Amino acid sequence: MFEEREPIGPGQPAVEQSVSEDRGRRQGAKSGPRRGDELELAVEALAFGGAGVARIGEGGFVVFVRGGVPGDLVRARVVRRKRSFAEAELVEVLRPSPDRVEPLAAHPGAPWQVIRYEVQLRWKELQVRDALERLGGFDQPPLEPIVPAHQRLRYRNKLEYSFGSDRDGRLVLGFHRRGRFDEIEGVERDILASERVDELRRATVEWAREAGHEAYDRRAHRGVLRNLVVREGRRTGDLSVRLVSSPAELDVAGLAARLRATGVLWTRTQALAEVTDVGSTELVAGRPWIEEQLCGLRFRISPDSFFQTNTEMAEELYRVVLEYAELDGSETVLDLFCGTGTIGLTMALEAREVLGLELDERAVADAIQNAKLNAIDNARFFCGDVADALPELVVEATRRPSVAVVDPPRAGLSRRMLEHLVRIGAERIVYVSCNPTTLAPNARLLCESGYELERVRPVDMFPQTPHIECVALLRRRTPVPPSPASSR
């Protein structure tokens, strides 16, 4: 359950104009701040990505403050300087914002835990609006209220931990320090993982310390232990663990006996990069996949396949997708970037047919297996790059696709993908986005090609972080000439 936290101190208004402007004139010389300078700053807003926004000098030179909360008065040290902005790290909160709360635990993956949850939601909604207006050119974007998270803590079903060493040389297991590939911050309490996964993480650390294993040194490229990847079936209780190490002899069977997981895998790799899916993988105990339940369906998930990280909010996300798709049972639906088929199979229950396309062969194999697992025979899944294989996918349809669902990576849709979508001419495009700054320009290009942005609804999949997920509905305004597929 979420633990309510009291605000720190009485706080102050979001921006104290007279104080900040006066101070800014003194600190914001023409040359601007330099790296290493310490500044007193009034934080005014939150930038996309999560940093606080402050301004100095008569020109309002922007300083992004990591860890700053709107309404804070802080002292911050400049760590990076560019022509039009600087980045600074928080040194001290001189006067806290009324929206600042005590953090529950040190955790680099939960930077917004110091902000009241209602304020997190407000800023996420504002940032989606800003992206649509500023990057998409939509004067009055059709933005709907954000869907709040069911659980504000301990919601992640997948965790990728990294082994490292603290300042005393002691082995720790946690996450990369922000902006550093070679430094790992150990966590004593993972507030984003379930209690069960958190206990598993602690047991792994104890096993490694007792055995005297060293963490992999990412700068010197020596050492053994690299990563621990944990996947949890929140509804089924399944638990998959994968230890990633350099080639070495380890008692992973002993670790497996301690963890009692559904499956334990061991990946040995010589890769220099921080990757968890490259190398030789051995099944040490149990089975390599887990199962999860979502929207009344059962899904099998392989170790490297993509699956929404927040099971409970994935259901909320898919409810929005179904609402926007407006299915009546007659539609041919394209599910692009379909992953393990979760969206497509959910839609297949209400559509005539679903055709899924995904580049990852392992995910496609899972999607096909998941269709069989749920006795769904009106969904087919194909392996291919959306940029190249989309026209071939349309040929497989028994009639012209009337709905296209796209769930692209953070980079969004390329111009070539957008051109394919426009040629297909689906009546409705449901765009699932994990990055509003790429959704906005993509939506603008679609609108310039005959579509209208009709609805946008953010969904808070990742509380305590600045990450934003949203769903957009684009409806075709102009008719499309008949295609050969429509007469089949």
* pLDDT 10s digits, 222-254: 999 999 999 999 999 999 999 999 999 999 999
The token pair at 165 is 């060493």
Confidence of residue 416 (pLDDT cuts 50, 70, 90): very high
Pairing verdict, β 239-245 and 225-232 = antiparallel
CA distance 106 to 198: 14
Please confirm, yes or no, whether 434 is among the known catalytic residues. Answer: yes
State mean pLDDT over 316-331. 97
Domains of the chain by start residue, with CATH = 17-101 (2.40.50.140), 126-149+310-487 (3.40.50.150), 158-288 (2.40.50.1070)
The token pair at 379 is 């969904």
Pairing verdict, β 428-433 and 403-406 = parallel
Say if pTM beats, i.e. exceeds, 0.85.
yes
Beta strands in 248-325 (DSSP E): 263-268, 280-286, 290-294, 297-301
Q: Between the CA of residue 352 and those of 118, 333, 371, 380, 475, what are the distances in Å? A: 40, 8, 15, 12, 20
Report the pLDDT value the prediction gives residue 12, as an integer from 0 to 100.
Answer: 33
Reduced to 3 states (helix: H, G, I; strand: E, B; else coil), residue 98 is: coil
Indicate left, alpha or beta for 463 from its phi (over 0: left) and psi (-120 to 50: alpha). beta
Query: Would you say 245 and 224 are in contact if contact means Cβ atoms under 8 Å apart?
Result: yes
Report the pLDDT value the prediction gives residue 419, as an integer from 0 to 100.
Answer: 94
Q: Which amino acid is at 351?
A: A
Find, among 321, 368, 320, 378, the residue nearest to 340 by Cα. 368
Q: Between the CA of residue 357 and those of 217, 341, 379, 419, what are the distances in Å? A: 39, 9, 11, 17
Q: In the block, which residue shows the tokens 């996450």?
A: 175
450: which strand partners?
none
Confidence of residue 486 (pLDDT cuts 50, 70, 90): very low
Sign of the CA dihedral 193, 194, 200, 203? positive
Which of 383, 434, 447, 470 is catalytic? The answer is 434
pLDDT single digits (tens) 19-77: 333 444 344 445 679 999 999 999 999 999 999 999 998 889 999 999 999 999 999 99
Q: Annotated binding site for S-adenosyl-L-methionine: which residue ranges?
A: 308, 337, 358, 407
Find the angle CA(279)-CA(178)-CA(110) to the nearest 5 degrees.
Answer: 100
Exposure class string for 425-434: b at 16+ Cβ within 10 A, else e: bbbbbbbbbb
Find, among 266, 203, 267, 259, the residue nearest to 232 by Cα. 259
